[in-house]
Structure 1
Amino acid sequence: MNNHFNVIVIGAGPAGAAAAWRLVKNNLSVCVLEKESLPRGKPCGGGITGRAMRAMPCDMVQCAGKAFTSVSMNDMSAGLRFTVSRAKPVITTVLRPMFDHELVRQAMDAGAELRDKTLVTGLRYGNGCIEVLSGDQRFSASWVIGADGAFGKTSQWAGWKKRPRLAPAINAEIMTPDAIPLHLEQSPRFDFGVIDHGYAWFFPKQDGCSLGLVSLGKKGANLSGKLKTYIQTLGFGSAAKPVVSGAAIPIGPIPGGFVKKRIILTGDAAGLADPLTCEGISNALKSGTHAAEAIIEGKENQRVVEKAYLTMLNDSIISDLKASSILALIIYFHPRIRQFLFARHGQHLCEAVTDILAGNRSYSRELYSFSNLFRLLTNR
Structure 2
Amino acid sequence: MFDCIIVGAGPAGGSAAYHLAKKGHSILVLEKLSFPRTKSCGGGVSPAIAQWFDFDFSPVVQNHVSQVKYTFKMSDPAEVELKNVTPMWMVQRDQFDNFLIEQAIGQGVEFKADTEVTGVSLQGDTWQVETNNGVFKSKYLIAADGANSTVAKLLGFTDTQKIAAASLQVPGEVSDRRKITAFFDFGSLKNGFMWCFPKADGYSISAAYVRNPQGKPDELKKQLTKYAELFDLDASQGEYREHSLNLWQKDRPLHSDRILLVGEAAGMVDPLIGEGIRPGMFTGVQAAAAVSNALQGDANALANYTETINQEWGANLAKADFLANLFYKAPKIAYKLGVKRPTAGQLMGKILCGELSYSQVADKATQKLKFIPGIG
Same fold, TM exceeding 0.5? yes
Query: Is residue 282 of structure 2 the alignment partner of residue 289 of structure 1?
Result: no
Query: Is residue 169 of structure 2 the alignment partner of residue 135 of structure 1?
Result: no
In structure 2, C-alpha distance between the alignment counterparts of 1:56 and 1:90, rounded to whole Å? 18
Asked if the contact 2:163/2:215 (under 8 Å) is kept, the reply is: no
Which position in structure 2 is the counterpart of 1:267? 263
Give the superposition deviation at 1:51: 3.8
Which residue, out of 326, 329, 341, partners 2:322?
326
Give the superposition deviation at 1:136: 6.0
Asked if the contact 2:119/2:129 (under 8 Å) is kept, the reply is: yes
Which residue, out of 30, 39, 43, partners 2:36?
39
Which residue, out of 199, 211, 215, partners 1:205?
199
Query: Is residue 156 of structure 2 the alignment partner of residue 153 of structure 1?
Result: no
In structure 1, C-alpha distance between the alignment counterparts of 2:118 and 2:4, rounded to whole Å? 17
Query: Is residue 366 of structure 2 the alignment partner of residue 373 of structure 1?
Result: yes
Give the superposition deviation at 1:351: 1.1
Change (3 A) 1:238 1:17: closer
Consecutive unaligned residues of structure 1, counting only runs of 5 or more, are none
Which position in structure 2 is the counterpart of 1:101? 98
Following superposition of structure 1 onto structure 2, how do residues 197-346 of structure 1 map, counting pairs within 5 Å?
197-216=191-210, 217-221=212-216, 222-232=219-229, 234-236=230-232, 238=234, 241-253=237-249, 256-299=252-295, 301=297, 303-342=299-338, 346=341
Change (3 A) 1:352 1:230: same
Asked if the contact 1:181/1:235 (under 8 Å) is kept, the reply is: no
Following superposition of structure 1 onto structure 2, how do residues 83-122 of structure 1 map, counting pairs within 5 Å?
83-122=80-119
Change (3 A) 1:371 1:87: closer
In structure 2, C-alpha distance between the alignment counterparts of 1:239 and 1:250, rounded to whole Å? 26
- Encode CA deviations 1:228-266: one digit per residue, 9 max, x unaligned: 22222x142559722211121111238751111211000
Identity of aligned residues (%): 27
Counting matched residue pairs gives: 368
Consecutive unaligned residues of structure 2, counting only runs of 5 or more, are 372-376
- Encode CA deviations 1:336-375: one digit per residue, 9 max, x unaligned: 44134237x62111111111111111112331xx466316
Give the superposition deviation at 1:163: 2.3
Give the superposition deviation at 1:53: 4.5
Which position in structure 2 is the counterpart of 1:22? 19
Give the superposition deviation at 1:103: 0.4
In structure 2, C-alpha distance between the alignment counterparts of 1:184 and 1:311, rounded to whole Å? 41
Greater displacement, 298-307 / 147-156: 298-307
SS in 1 for 2:181: coil
Which position in structure 2 is the counterpart of 1:191? 185
SS in 2 for 1:79: strand
Asked if the contact 2:251/2:310 (under 8 Å) is kept, the reply is: no
In structure 1, C-alpha distance between the alignment counterparts of 2:351 and 2:177, rounded to whole Å? 26
Change (3 A) 1:57 1:319: farther
In structure 1, C-alpha distance between the alignment counterparts of 2:85 and 2:51, rounded to whole Å? 12
| TM-score normalised by structure 1 residue count | 0.89
Give the superposition deviation at 1:28: 0.9
Greater displacement, 136-145 / 299-308: 299-308
Change (3 A) 1:76 1:238: closer
Give the superposition deviation at 1:181: 7.8
In structure 1, C-alpha distance between the alignment counterparts of 2:231 and 2:127, rounded to whole Å? 54
Which position in structure 2 is the counterpart of 1:353? 348
SS in 1 for 2:244: strand
Asked if the contact 1:50/1:359 (under 8 Å) is kept, the reply is: yes
Asked if the contact 2:250/2:318 (under 8 Å) is kept, the reply is: no
Change (3 A) 1:132 1:347: same
Change (3 A) 1:281 1:116: same
In structure 1, C-alpha distance between the alignment counterparts of 2:159 and 2:296, rounded to whole Å? 27
